A = this chain, B = another copy of it.
Amino acid sequence: MKNIGIIGAGRIGRVHAQSIANYVSTAKVVAIADPMLNDDTIAWAKSLGIAAVTKDYKDILNDTNIDIVLICSPTDTHSAISLEAIAAGKHVFCEKPIDHDISRINAVLDALKANPKLKYMVGFNRRFDHNFRAIRNAVEAGKIGKVELVKITSRDPEPPSAEYAARSGGIFLDMAIHDFDMVRYLSGDEVVEVYTQPAVLVDPAIGQAGDFDSAVISMKLASGALAVIDNSRRCAYGYDQRAEVFGSAGAAASANDGASTVQISNADGVMGEKPLYFFLERYMQAFATELTEFIAAVVNDTPVPVDAQAGLEAVRIGIAATVSAKEGRPVKVSEIA
């Protein structure tokens, strides 16, 4: 039985704690740390049987009974806590992104090289989604031949505030980063060049904050294949999350998940369900699978499904996309070091 400490008791930290309670029998959450600790958090932790609750995440790092740390704190703390956790000999699950700064991510990679027995996984939850996995399985099984094009549609139901956008690192590092990882995952290939066609179509305040809310991003992959992502921060019908891989022998494409398969036919037409609202609804099962597979990798000493290198590559593509948006030119990922 492995002992887990969770750093950050926000929404995603709680999702992971619940997933472990429900689906993982080989590990349990024994401690949770959050500087904003309040009675509600304490009651929630108690209801899940989490014994230790603290404001100071160092209590978790210092606890020699704890084997695994989940880093669910704000993005700007990920790389620093990662380094501390590795130094403390913990296996780490870190929410995406590791950092927006390549040198800091490299510092984490260096620390991991020096501690080869430690597992380190990045939280690209969409890799564990049933639909995207089914596409990846079809690609790997050769059902569509050689990959020629990866297409991803990724639209959030509602835009963030302009304040959030300003602090977020921008749409490419905050939102599209999942899609960049998905291009790598679905194709099994590396992105070599990025061109971004950005726009501010949803909220002018996001533009005034120096960010964009809409974009089409086209990419060239190492094999010569192409990829394209379309992003919007606002989608009237909910969370639109689709992918298609087109190859020499066919294509594999996913549709959205709805709350039911029911269609209502009347004089107006045939009405089906909207996509599930947002990431907690759409990816709830994916979050559970993510944690289950991470813990299994620790317990069995096998490779993690999403390693730190994947975390680095997605950020490099995100920075290349950001540069492309600002400079209006295609940018090679090799420019981003």
Contacts and interface: CB of A to CB of B under 8 A. Distances in A.
A145 to B, nearest CB: 7
Contacts of A226: 197, 199, 214-216, 230
A264 interface: yes
A264 B248 contact: no
B131 A237 contact: no
B232 A246 contact: yes
A255 interface: yes
Interface residues of A, number: 74
Contacts of A201: 146, 148, 224-225, 248
Contact of A195 (B25, B149, B195, B265): B195
Task: Count this chain's copies in the assembly.
Answer: 4
A47 interface: yes
Interface in A213-237: 214-216, 218-220, 224-228, 230, 232, 234-237
A22 to B, nearest CB: 4
Contacts of A149: 214, 216, 230, 232
A218 B220 contact: no
Q: Is the interface of A mostly helix, strand, loop or mixed?
A: mixed
A201 B47 CA distance: 53
A152 to B, nearest CB: 12
B220 A145 contact: no
B143 A264 contact: yes
Given A133-B260, A261-B131, A144 B266 contact: yes
6 closest A-B pairs by CB: A250-B266, A134-B260, A134-B262, A237-B265, A255-B261, A22-B22
